[in-house]
Amino acid sequence: MSRPPFETAEHIARQALATWGLSVHAETDEGADDSWLVISLPQRADALLSEGVPHVVLYVFDPFSDEDEVMVDRAPAGPSDHWCAVSVDGRGVQRPLFARPVAQLTGCVDAIADWLTSPQA
């Protein structure tokens, strides 16, 4: 099923994550024109308000572009766009989780769900 061209990466990801019952929080850095999604553990609305909450940061990135754009507020534009995720543990240590072509969103959501359901340090 093809998606309308105006559908943002955020909307697409929210729908896919919702199939696992996962809620997300959108973040932006206005100065850098970046946007991303945060999927926290535990899955509570107030979880992001406290320090030391393990979470996954999800965004779209084009590794072949000259621009350093991290975003979810536009539609994935082309075949070189990738879903990227970074896991952040309770101490704030970041680790790459995956970088996959945008057509592989289902595998990305599965990887996020696996990370969220695995014991975290």
Residue 34: Cβ-neighbour burial (10 angstroms; 0-12, 13-18, 19+): middle
For residue 1, pLDDT over 50 is answered with no
For residue 74, pLDDT over 60 is answered with yes
Does a structural domain hold residue 1?
no
Residue 79: per-residue pLDDT: 80
Task: Express each pLDDT in 46-59 by its tens digit.
Answer: 655 556 788 899 99
∠ CA 109-92-96 to the nearest 5 degrees?
40
Does a structural domain hold residue 2?
no
Residue 17: per-residue pLDDT: 94
Residue 107: per-residue pLDDT: 95
Domain residues for 15? 9-117
Does a structural domain hold residue 28?
yes
- Total structural domains within the chain: 1
Does a structural domain hold residue 56?
yes
Does a structural domain hold residue 3?
no
What pTM did the predictor assign?
A: 0.86
Which of 1-5, 49-53, 110-114, 116-120 is the most confident on average? 110-114
